Amino acid sequence: MAKLSLFERRKRRVRTALKARSGGRPRLSVHRTGRHIYAQIIDDASGRTVAAASTLKKGEKSIGATAAAAAEVGKALAEAAKAAGVTSVVFDRGGFLFHGRVKALADAAREGGLEF
């Protein structure tokens, strides 16, 4: 087996610990690129995405990759989750550090009413 990158090792470690303590709650998964940030709430039991939000919007000018933009995504995701009937999730940061844009998204989602 090939040696995994530090990012992949961190991602696997986070995901394994998360599944052990999820208790059947949906997972708030975050993906970050240089230009955008994406977040979705995934129900692993049924394998479907319950709610999603990102800085990438079709037909609109993108709002960029800043902490403020990430906070807007967090608020939008919390609203979409409420509409879908989800209030409690587990936070899956993937291999990303809980810092900067990822932290801003998480804090905004908490303010929006999601519990994790």
Mean pLDDT across 38-66: 87
E strand spans, the chain = 27-32, 37-43, 48-54, 90-92
pLDDT value of residue 57: 77
Mean pLDDT of 78-82: 97
Q: What is the pLDDT at residue 65?
A: 82
Mean pLDDT of 66-94: 96
Residue 64 tokens, joined: 């960029």
Average pLDDT rounded to a whole number, residues 37-66: 88
The residues spanned by each domain of the chain are: 6-17+24-111
Residue 63 in this model has a pLDDT that exceeds 80: no
CATH number at 6-17+24-111: 3.30.420.100
Q: 26, 89 in Cβ contact below 8 A?
A: yes
